[in-house]
Amino acid sequence: MTDRIAVCPGSFDPLTRGHEDIVRRGLAFADRVIVAVAHAPQQPRQGMFSIDERLGLIREAFAGEPRVEAAEFTGLLVDFARKRGAKIVIRGVRSVKDFEYEQQMAMMNRSLLADLETVFMAPDPAHAFVSATLVRQIARLGGHVAPFLSPAVLHHVLEKVAATKSAAAQG
């Protein structure tokens, strides 16, 4: 029997405990999960990590889990899924607001690639309010982000904030 491959796409800037939880739980119904970091050159954003750095964080966080792979992709998710033989897309849905957008993307992706199923996963309640955008903002403002990140990711976030501050201080 062939492996059931799932792709969990996103920005992952940075990978949060919420993402990690969704990916690990995805292994209950997929043999392998590809955590796919999207290149989004059209989106002006206050990012924290480069694509390569984000891939590194994902690899560190899942170092003990050979069934999880980190990859990057440019262009359409359906093209990446087709190329990698993935038939499942995993997305975490935290709220009704998330759901409207996620449902539209799922339907659009399925109309582009008929046998691609999107599985929506409810977050663990402990992570229901966590978003990478808020984590970046809180970390930059000196807030406590340890509960939202695994130790490896936290270390890199604190390092990045310190490096950015020291570069700014030097003008």
Q: 85 vs 165, which CB is nearer to ligand PNS?
A: 85
The answer to the question of residue 38 lying near ligand PNS (CB under 6 A) is yes
Q: What are phi and psi of 65, to 5 degrees?
A: -125, 90
Q: How many helices (H) and strands (E) does the chain have?
A: 6, 5
The answer to the question of residue 10 lying near ligand PNS (CB under 6 A) is yes
Least distance in angstroms from the C-beta of 92 to ligand PNS = 9
Q: At what angle do helices 77-84 and 96-112 cross, to 10 degrees?
A: 60
Least distance in angstroms from the C-beta of 89 to ligand PNS = 8
Q: 11 vs 150, which CB is nearer to ligand PNS?
A: 11
Which helix (H) or strand (E) segment is 91 a member of?
A: strand 88-92
Pick from 5, 6, 7, 11: which binds ligand PNS (CB under 6 A)?
11
Least distance in angstroms from the C-beta of 113 to ligand PNS = 10
- Scored b (16 or more CB within 10 A) or e, 36-49 reads bbbeeeeeeeebbb
In order, the DSSP letters of 105-167 are: HHHHHHHHSTT-EEEEEPPPGGGTT--HHHHHHHHHTT---GGGS-HHHHHHHHHHHHHHHHH
Separation of alpha carbons 70 and 87, rounded Å: 17
Do 86 and 34 meet the contact criterion of CB atoms below 8 Å apart? Answer: yes
The answer to the question of residue 105 lying near ligand PNS (CB under 6 A) is yes
Pick from 76, 126, 146, 162: which binds ligand PNS (CB under 6 A)?
76
Least distance in angstroms from the C-beta of 11 to ligand PNS = 4
Q: 115 vs 163, which CB is nearer to ligand PNS?
A: 115
Q: 76 vs 163, which CB is nearer to ligand PNS?
A: 76
Least distance in angstroms from the C-beta of 170 to ligand PNS = 32
* Interface ranges with ligand PNS (CB under 6 A): 9-11, 38, 76-77, 105, 108-109
